[in-house]
Structure 1
Amino acid sequence: MTTRRRARSPRGAGEILAEEIIEAAGELLVEHGDDTGMSIRGVATRVGVTPPSIYLHFADKDALLDAVCARYFERLDDQLASATEGIDDPLERALQLGLAYVRFAVATPVLYRVAFGKPADAAHPSKVDQVLAASAYTRFVDTVTELADEGLFGRDDVNDVVLELWAAAHGIASLMLSKPGLGWGDDFQRAESMLKAVCLGRAVMSAHTDCGDPETARTWLATLRPRQHERQ
């Protein structure tokens, strides 16, 4: 384990120390593969302070984990912003948001698992929930709202569509992490295909409300196949 020798902090350096504690805790999480190997004592040793110094900033291990995961999702928001920069088409933007989410999760498997490993408390939102609500979730809502304005969805369906898109991205990411050998294709090809199916399938269901019935959907799709053959 790496130990940092730390000189006495200057007055007013509490915020700097808190950042070092969060960084050290994140490093230990990645090194151990989960949060069981991360302890307050271990973080204190990594930073070069005593355990009581940690408790001045974080009430307990859970509070520290919450701060680490909140910082993780701040980085996710940066990735989402970068992935959608300059994309004016909201449908393409929705797809790229989902793909960026999946890519980020696959690139940071330990922190991703830890971040979603504890149940949320709706009555007392954690720092993680607050960061997601103010960043990544807002990006999805804004983009899906634009799609609703174009008529792909009803305005009343925005929250439902956001949840479905997020659930799809989360499910894909989780499956890619647990079953990497399933044949996901180069450059996340399978993930992209699945996210397209969610976005476009939801739009079709909104435009053709009867398609919620399997037999009606099958009949409607059959009318499209001759046109596809004609174009080919």
Structure 2
Amino acid sequence: MTRETEQTEDQTDDLIALLDAADRLPGVVELRSRSFDLLHLRPGASVVDVGCGAGRAVAELAERGVKAIGVDPDERMIAVARSRWPASDYRIAGAYELPLADASIDGFRADKVFHELAEPERALAEAHRVLAPGGRIVLIGQDWDTFSIDSDDPALTRTIVHARADLTVSPHAARRYRNLVLEDAFNQVTVEAHTGVLTGSAMLPLLTGLAEGACSAGTVMREQTDTWVAEQRKRACTDRLFLALPMFLAAATRTR
């Protein structure tokens, strides 16, 4: 194994740990359940979970009697998903080229995926291709400019949030969900906003990542980054950390 491969696997393992921590946050289980409900799937129906990560949603959909397929381009993610839920169907694939036939599934779900795509429109076209007429699409994600973080230095915090957003491939994909699906022959479009208020130390890795991203981009200095992170650590230790994060949930039906 090369050093580059080891670093890539370490990064994936760090992401898995972060996703596992996020899955335990207040409101996340309810949001995931709401996304399942919006698919309108009956037992025996089929659904693809795009960007399935470590596979939890696929396993939970299967528990509802749905034929669920999880796809993710990261081989390590798929390996972890298969080890955790060996009875489920996981496949290595990206959002632009799904290993599914035309009009072959009843539901398409993508959770925190579209902000990672340079061409969200292309992923929507692929969703339209694999969905049967009347099939449902559900998209979940955050807008990377909408993090609300309490801090002693609001101006620096604003700079950090926006700088980190600029490092994201499509940071504003979530605010575009409604128009994206309308442009791709979907109807019955709904959009919901579910705001999580997070005050525990489990969010420290996310906040640290925001600051380090801004620092790596050269937007803020190392001293500013260290001071800001130290303040957030102190807030976490004294139960004063505050992060509010709106999650946007869009759903629609394929018309033709």
Normalising by structure 2, report the TM-score. 0.26
More helix by share: 1
TM-score normalized by the length of structure 1: 0.28
Larger radius of gyration: 1
